[in-house]
Structure 1
Amino acid sequence: MKYPCVPKNNIAQSITIPPCNLCEQLCRSLASGLGTDVTFRVDGKRIHAHKCVLAASSPVFKAMLFGPMKEKDKNLIQIKEIKAPIFKAMLNFIYTGKLSDTSSHGASCWMHQHLLVAADRFALERLRSTCEFLLCRDLDVDNVSTTLVLAQQYNCQQLKAACLKYIASHEILMLVMATDGFQHLISSCPWMLGEIIARTSAISSCVITVLVLSLCVVWIVVMHFTLL
């Protein structure tokens, strides 16, 4: 027996399917503490979360919470060498896939630099890539040196290339050399001066002299403390 077919594009199209709001529900649960089953002590503050959400997002959290080497007190875990605002921002990204906007450009750069370190520590590859993108986008004279050090330390090759490209002009390099961040660069990664010289176009002999002298000063200081 054949049944009459319901005409297409009639009733079905009038039914509205609401969007999935799982992330919003999880965020509300995180903010209210509903269902949280693990507490982290971070920078003197207690921060609550859900084990399953963290374990699904990070192999480090999975091992910490459910692996054979899990924390003895798995319901109260001490997290060292990370600031509470950074840890909270990392949790927010795990739950929502987004980073909250900060009030200023400088604060944004500081936040993204520290979040990149946290992402590397907890093996959050999407957060790491997001921070690398945002740091590339927001490079300026004041932050390029510290960002270059960070890129070198955490093997962020695209971020490193972006930093070197940014300073690869005589005018920008002269401005960068006058910042405190550049002093941090030559003391932390003195070998980077060679890469800067190699990639900088139309660099003057005067600038090369300053860079070489900076490298010599760093070498003398290092040798001095080595021989003490």
Structure 2
Amino acid sequence: MVGLHPVRELLRAGRPVRRVLVADTRDASPVLDEILALARRAGVHVDEVDRARVDERAEGLVHQGVLALAPAFAYASLDEVRRRAGDRPLLLVALDSVTDPHNLGSIARTADAVGAHGLLVPARRAASVTPTAEKAAAGALAHLPVVQVTNLVRTIRSLQGEGVWAVGLDGDAPTDIADSRLLADPVVLVVGAEGRGLSRLTAETCDELVRLPMHGAVGSLNASVAAGVALYEVLRQRS
């Protein structure tokens, strides 16, 4: 885990951290002060090291002079996500073969911001939670459960059997997202892959396909931007 905000959120969330490396040439900041205080409180050893060592460990990612050595990302189960939702209407985001870890991280960041209860990602042919995704999420992945599923369509159908609507984003859909009447209920918002959008089977499985209103010359949005716009429409309807 690299960067001031991701490392701080990892410690804030109480996730296991073996050690924190701080570059000897780093700039002072309130966030760094909080990281050091959180590490002390959690009994995590902090090493001040040569910046080149942090560069090497960061493997090209922008680290801002701070890096946390931690176990591999721990995926959650659907049961954990259900417990997190409690009595509130479930809100999940499912990524249908999104392959860019930057998009995964950005979507996770927005999902956490609007209070989503979890993220569903396929185990194959899709982005997983990597240091790049964690950096793009700016710490959100320390708080937002991510469920890695073997078969996304089967998982969506299982959720539908529990009374959860599946709403997919599709630029060619006949319904504007603002006109959907499903978003205030338990829902999984399904976001398609970069370029090709939802797969045919995923689209057919959804209870409703919705589009985002587009009035400019460019006909589509990046997957993470589209997910962000849609999630804030969900939040608007629920508020």
Higher helix proportion (structure 1 or 2): 1
Kindly name which structure, 1 or 2, has the bigger radius of gyration based on alpha carbons.
1
- TM-score, normalised with respect to structure 1: 0.30
| Structure showing greater relative contact order (alpha-carbon pairs closer than 8 Å, 6 or more residues apart) | 2
